[in-house]
Structure 1
Amino acid sequence: MTQRINYFQQSPELCKKFVEFSTLLNDCTIEEPIRDLVNIRASQINGCGFCLDMHVKEARIHGERELRLHHVAVWRESTLFSPRERAALAWTEVLTTLPEHGVPDEIYERVRGQFSEKELSDLTFEVMAINGWNRANVAFRTVPGSSDKAFGLDKANLA
């Protein structure tokens, strides 16, 4: 795969602001393991090889177990995720795919049972951010692993 354009070079100020926005999420109310799962699941749904590669490596660096990473795609059938993680994954899926008639009340109520209003708001911004990154990297065919050294992802030892 060949990258189409380098959007960081073409739109440096916009990328800088989007990176700042994404970096703010590191200090939000949503714990890192859930943020990792959200980023992986949205990237799977969107078919973003660059982001999927990046976030699997980040999750491993953060201490995530390998088997759980393999189970993200089948989280409904897996026994490896807590109710809170399941709610976050359900929220990620519904916001990433946006059904024709919006978010069903049943999903909202299930997620709301696991997250406070502030946490749900923060989780929504996490989903928004990864979907934005997915769209840019899919559009411009950013090559998976091409920024490993720059982001310290070579430390995951998953090459």
Structure 2
Amino acid sequence: MAQRVNYMQQSPELFKKFLDFSMALKNSSIEEKIEDLVSIRASQMNGCGFCLDMHVKQAKINGESELRLYHISIWRESTLFSPRERAALAWTEVLTRLPEHGVPDELYNRVREHLSEQEISDLSFSIMAINAWNRVNVGFTTVPGSSDAAYGLTKAGLS
């Protein structure tokens, strides 16, 4: 598979601004471990090989266990995730695939038990960002692993 369009070269100013937005999320109220889980789960749901590959490697570099990485797609059945992580994953799924009639109050209230209003807001911006990255990389068939050296992902030890 070859990349259709190199969007970084074709739209450098937009790419830089969106990258700046994504980097600003690193200073949000959401911890890195949850950011990794969210990026992986949304990328799984959207079928984005490039982002899934990138964020699994990033999570590994950040100390995530391999078993938990394997369990992200089955987080509901797994005993490896905390209630806070489960809330973040539930919020990720509902915002990634918006229900026809919006987010149910029951789900929001369950998430609110584990995350503050600011955390839900910050998490929502993270979910928006990964979904946008998924869409551009799926649309332009960005090759998984093609930016590993540029993003320092070779140190994950996964190849």
**Do Structure 1 and Structure 2 share a fold, with TM-score over 0.5?**
yes
3-state SS in 1 of match to 2:150? helix
Match of 2:92 in 1: 92
5 Å-filtered alignment, 1:130-145, equals 130-145=130-145
Cα shift at 1:17: 0.3
What is the match of residue 75 of structure 1? Answer: 75
The offset of 1:46, in angstroms, is: 0.2
Letter in structure 2 aligned against 1:23 = M
Q: Which runs of 4+ in 1 moved over 3 A?
A: none
**1:45 shift after superposition:** 0.2
Cα distance in 1 between the residues matched to 2:101 and 2:8: 35
Query: Which AA in structure 1 matches 2:72?
Result: V
Q: Identity across aligned pairs (percent)?
A: 72
Distance 1:76 1:21 in 2: 30
Please state how far the C-alpha of 1:20 moved relative to its aligned partner. 0.3
SS in 2 for 1:129: helix
Q: CA deviation at 1:120?
A: 0.6
Q: Does 1:127 align with 2:137?
A: no
CA distance in 2, matches of 1:106, 1:53: 33
Q: Take 1:117 and 1:73, find their aligned partners in 2: how far apart are those partners? A: 26
Give the counterpart letter for 2:113 in structure 1: G
Counterpart Cα distance in 2 of 1:107 and 1:49: 28
Unpaired runs of at least 5, structure 2? none
Deviation at residue 114 of structure 1 after TM alignment: 0.6
Gaps of 5+ in 1: none
Counting only pairs closer than 5 Å after superposition, residues 14-29 of structure 1 correspond to structure 2 as: 14-29=14-29
Deviations 1:19-49 (A, max 9, x none): 0000000010000000000000000000000
TM-score by length of 1: 0.99
Deviation at 1:103, TM superposition (A): 0.5
Q: CA RMSD in A?
A: 0.3
Match in the other structure for 1:147: 147
Q: Which residue pairs with 2:117 in the alignment?
A: 117
Q: Distance in 2 between matches of 1:121 and 1:103?
A: 14
Kindly provide the amino acid, as one letter, of the partner of residue 89 in structure 2. Answer: L
Q: Secondary structure at the match of 2:149?
A: helix
Deviation at 1:132, TM superposition (A): 0.4
**In 2, distance between residues paired with 1:106 and 1:45?**
22
What is the aligned partner in structure 2 of residue 35 from structure 1?
35
Q: Which amino acid aligns with 2:2?
A: T
